[in-house]
Amino acid sequence: MPRFSDTSLQNSKPSLDRKSRIKDPKNIKRAVDPAALEMLDYTTENNIITAFDRWSAQQPQCAFGYQGICCRICFAGPCRIKGLEGPGSMGICGARDYTIVARNAIRMMAGGASAHSDHGRELVEVLYHMSLGKAPDYEIRDPDKLYRVAKKIGLETEGKTDLELAKEVALAAFEDYGRHTSDKCRFLEANLCEKRIKKYEETDVFPRAIDREVVEVMHRTHVGVDADPVNIIFGGIKCSLADLTGEQISTDISDILFGTPKPVMSEANLGVLDPDKVNIIVHGHNPVLSQMVVDTAREMEEEAKAAGATGIQLSGICCTGNEVLMRNGVPIATSYMAQELAIATGAVDVMVVDVQCIMPGLRNVAECFNTKLVTTMSISKIPGAYHFAFEDSKAKQSAEAVIRLAIETFKVRKESGRPVQVPKFKNKLMAGFSLEALMDLFAAINPDNPIKVLTDAIDNGEIAGVCALAGCNNLEAVYEKNHTEILKELAKNNVFMVGTGCVMQAAAKHGLLTYEAVEEYAGPGLKAFIDRLYEANKDKLPDKLPLAFHMGSCVDNSRIFNLWTAMANEYGVDVPKVPFVATAPEGMSEKAVAIGTWVISNGIPCHVGAMPPLEGSNLVWSVVTCIAHDVFGGNFILETDPQVAAKKLLAALEYRAWKLRIHKKAAEEYGTELCQAF
């Protein structure tokens, strides 16, 4: 029986009810990462408080907030939905559970869209300033990408210098943030397939300008504006597509400025820290600073050696770590939830942070050690941390100051003679799979039509389809357990996997971004496919190919969007017919909510393995898990058990692949057009 005939795998309710989800709140060792487990013993022995202790202290968490039925939108509240009937079933203003849940959810999307898009805006500003000669430390490292992006968004490229074109691309991107007309966001329209453009026009969710859609969400969710849950959610979808626009801009411009990633080898986990070197961790998201630190550190090795170090050891946490891993092979220290544990090793001299996913708790841990925590962005400061204001006009100078502070701190650390506790665990990895790099691998087999290598492998059943792994860590799950279990289960079932963000850091730390993992976990079809790709490309690759393909930071989910769009165009169908699924096994942030929403509105089923605050309204729940599928072709699969989640993802994927095969066969047999229904 095909898996998708099993109706239990189509049940929109998670297999564990709310109360059974959290097992032992007293056990803080909620991790499968051996380095994190070792460090948790050490922090417990030494009374160092981290997120793991604070998670325990927060249990049981507020059930109203957990389900999304707490409203704090005005200060007549807070209001909670206390039952199904009577005055307590509504907020003071009369808002019902569905209004409150929907409003809270789309405010999360607006938060996520703001974060991703402001990150993109910083990059556009650097590109613009560079084109005017006002950011002299930056350059165009990938002029081909500049031309490709310019062409794609409809700019005339003939007869223009790189700098002239860079300025025009920057101005076009600025327009996507602040257009006053009702025209469409250009960076989004240029990357969608035609059928999706039509779908977004019909449903009135095409974003006009990023900032405008965020503002509209904040307006429509103000006290006494939109109370219709479906209308509210459609407003959220429009904002999530503005988020996607911001992500596309971020990726495109990062590649133009810093280079488009190519396959690269590196290592991951706390064992990458070297006590004899000056250890600098870059943490946050924006490559404008971290890339400059990487470039400058190379020039300052001798200064570090003069201070008694054997060199400078850079490593990364979160997505800025992914940015410099993808382009420079800088090792990954750890992922979001273990960021404080990195400092608790005592071996970190400077942790330099920019924006997003930076725990305020870092400062308390840094205080216990010789570590300097350095903030760099005016919107992201932490009391007690050093603040070195970063300016793109003096980028190199800022990076030098940070590195010099680290060298000075190293000297103090060595003189103090204080022992360090660096876990030995680390694994090698291969990363650097931009869409261009992936297409390049396919092109070695089919130079005329590279994407057909992937779609053919699905059509002939060699692989089951594609799954995108994305998102965060959340201690509602056991740290990195959902990530690794789902990844292994999908591999066993021949799913080709791409991914971004903290999931891929988990995969890397557990040795899953290696060929050894292909040998251990891949099903026969997936192994044959990966082997074939390697054989065709072995002259230009640094090693054999990995089990899953790391495509970058969370904004680089735009690369994944570009991948499924290329597949849809190749099949001649709309995205919902493409055998593609997505998962955020340990989703946490508002950014993840925005991403998940544009994933489903692109027409892709999206699993989330930590429960978003939606359970308080059956109506909203059914809109996002069922009705979204009828309208857009994608829906959320909310499931906290990783084994059941993997089965649900496989069922959704196999159903799509099976249906597409049947429709293709029918079209061939009867000489008709390929059925477009989903």
Q: What are the backbone angles phi and psi of residue 500, rounded to the nearest 5°?
A: -145, 175
Q: Which listed option, ligand SF4, ligand BF8, none, makes contact with residue 665 (CB within 5 to 8 Å by class)? A: none
Q: Which of 426, 510, 559, 591 binds ligand BF8 (CB under 6 A)?
A: 591
Q: Which of 49, 74, 171, 230 binds ligand SF4 (CB under 6 A)?
A: 74
Q: Which of 28, 32, 39, 73 binds ligand SF4 (CB under 6 A)?
A: 73
For residue 21, which amino acid is it? R
For residue 37, which amino acid is it? L
Give whichever of 74 and 439 is closer to ligand SF4, judged by the CB atom.
74
Q: What are the backbone angles phi and psi of residue 522, rounded to the nearest 5°?
A: -70, 140
Q: Given the rule CB under 6 A, which of 67-75, 175-183, 204-212, 431-439 is the region that contacts ligand SF4?
A: 67-75
Give whichever of 236 and 271 is closer to ligand SF4, judged by the CB atom.
236
Q: Hey, how many other C-beta atoms are within 10 angstroms of the C-beta on 657? A: 20
Map the footprint of ligand SF4 across residues 168-227, applying CB under 6 A: 223
Map the footprint of ligand SF4 across residues 406-425, applying CB under 6 A: none
For residue 188, which amino acid is it? L
Q: Given the rule CB under 6 A, which of 90-98, 500-508, 510-518, 652-660 is the region that contacts ligand SF4?
A: 90-98
Residue 610 sits in the site that holds ligand BF8 (CB under 6 A): no
Q: Which of 357, 463, 478, 486 binds ligand BF8 (CB under 6 A)?
A: 357
Q: Which of 206, 336, 632, 678 binds ligand BF8 (CB under 6 A)?
A: 336
Cα 485 to its chain centre, rounded Å, is: 18
SS (H, E, C) 432-448: CCCHHHHHHHHHCCCCC
How far apart are the C-alpha atoms of 397 and 116, rounded to whole Å? Answer: 26
Give whichever of 205 and 593 is closer to ligand BF8, judged by the CB atom.
593
How far apart are the C-alpha atoms of 222 and 661, rounded to whole Å? Answer: 47
Paired sense of beta strands 264-268 and 278-283, if any: unpaired
SS (H, E, C) 337-371: HHHHHHHHCCCCCEEEECCCCCCCCHHHHHHCCCC
Q: Which of 502, 563, 604, 644 binds ligand BF8 (CB under 6 A)?
A: 502
Query: What b/e sequence results for 599-635 when a residue is b if at least 16 CB atoms lie within 10 Å of its CB, and e otherwise?
Result: bbbbbbbbbbbbbbbbbbbebbbebbbeebbebbbbb
Angle at 34 between CA 28 and CA 40, to 5 degrees: 35
Q: Which of 501, 546, 552, 612 binds ligand BF8 (CB under 6 A)?
A: 501
In angstroms, what CA-CA distances link 267 with 275, 393, 508, 550? 16, 33, 8, 13
- Tell me how far, at minimum, the Cβ of 332 lies from ligand BF8, in Å: 11
Quick one: tokens of 641?
Answer: 């058990």
Q: Given the rule CB under 6 A, which of 30-38, 85-93, 247-255, 523-531 is the region that contacts ligand SF4?
A: 85-93
Q: Which listed option, ligand SF4, ligand BF8, none, makes contact with residue 472 (CB within 5 to 8 Å by class)? A: ligand BF8
Burial class (CB in 10 A: 0-12, 13-18, 19+), 8: exposed
Q: Which of 25, 65, 77, 143 binds ligand SF4 (CB under 6 A)?
A: 77
How far apart are the C-alpha atoms of 38 and 500, rounded to whole Å? Answer: 26
Burial class (CB in 10 A: 0-12, 13-18, 19+), 401: middle
Q: Which of 28, 35, 36, 71 binds ligand SF4 (CB under 6 A)?
A: 71
Quick one: tokens of 232?
Answer: 């509210």
- Tell me how far, at minimum, the Cβ of 657 lies from ligand BF8, in Å: 28
Paired sense of beta strands 606-608 and 636-638, if any: parallel
Q: Which listed option, ligand BF8, ligand SF4, none, makes contact with residue 501 (CB within 5 to 8 Å by class)? A: ligand BF8
Q: Which listed option, ligand BF8, ligand SF4, none, makes contact with residue 589 (CB within 5 to 8 Å by class)? A: ligand BF8
First to last CA, the chain: 22
Quick one: tokens of 260?
Answer: 């488009």
Q: What is the SS3 assignment for 499?
A: strand
Per-position x/- string for 445-474, each x denoting binding to ligand SF4 as judged by CB under 6 A, each - no binding: ------------------------------
Number of residues binding to ligand SF4, judged by CB under 6 A: 13
Q: Which of 41, 61, 76, 677 binds ligand SF4 (CB under 6 A)?
A: 76
Give whichever of 99 and 553 is closer to ligand BF8, judged by the CB atom.
553
Residue 583 sits in the site that holds ligand BF8 (CB under 6 A): no
Q: Which of 95, 324, 377, 503 binds ligand SF4 (CB under 6 A)?
A: 95
- Tell me how far, at minimum, the Cβ of 79 lies from ligand SF4, in Å: 3
Residue 318 sits in the site that holds ligand BF8 (CB under 6 A): yes
Map the footprint of ligand BF8 across residues 454-473, applying CB under 6 A: 471-472
Q: Which of 93, 155, 443, 675 binds ligand SF4 (CB under 6 A)?
A: 93
Q: Given the rule CB under 6 A, which of 160-168, 225-233, 530-538, 584-592 is the region that contacts ligand BF8?
A: 584-592
Paired sense of beta strands 264-268 and 606-608, if any: unpaired
Q: Given the rule CB under 6 A, which of 134-142, 435-443, 585-593, 643-651 is the region that contacts ligand BF8?
A: 585-593
Q: Which of 70, 106, 280, 319 binds ligand BF8 (CB under 6 A)?
A: 319
Q: Given the rule CB under 6 A, which of 58-66, 252-260, 441-449, 587-595 is the region that contacts ligand BF8?
A: 587-595
How far apart are the C-alpha atoms of 434 and 76, rounded to whole Å? Answer: 49
Adjacent-strand bridge partners of 500: 552
Spatial CA neighbour of 603 closest among 574, 562, 645? 574
Give whichever of 221 and 565 is closer to ligand SF4, judged by the CB atom.
221
Give whichever of 78 and 259 is closer to ligand SF4, judged by the CB atom.
78
- Tell me how far, at minimum, the Cβ of 214 lies from ligand SF4, in Å: 19
- Tell me how far, at minimum, the Cβ of 103 lies from ligand SF4, in Å: 8
Query: What b/e sequence results for 358-389 when a residue is b if at least 16 CB atoms lie within 10 Å of its CB, and e otherwise?
Result: bbebbbbbbeebbbbbbbbbeebebeebbebe
The site for ligand BF8 (CB under 6 A) is made up of: 285, 318-319, 336, 357, 471-472, 501-502, 553-554, 588-589, 591-592
The site for ligand SF4 (CB under 6 A) is made up of: 71-74, 76-79, 91-93, 95, 223
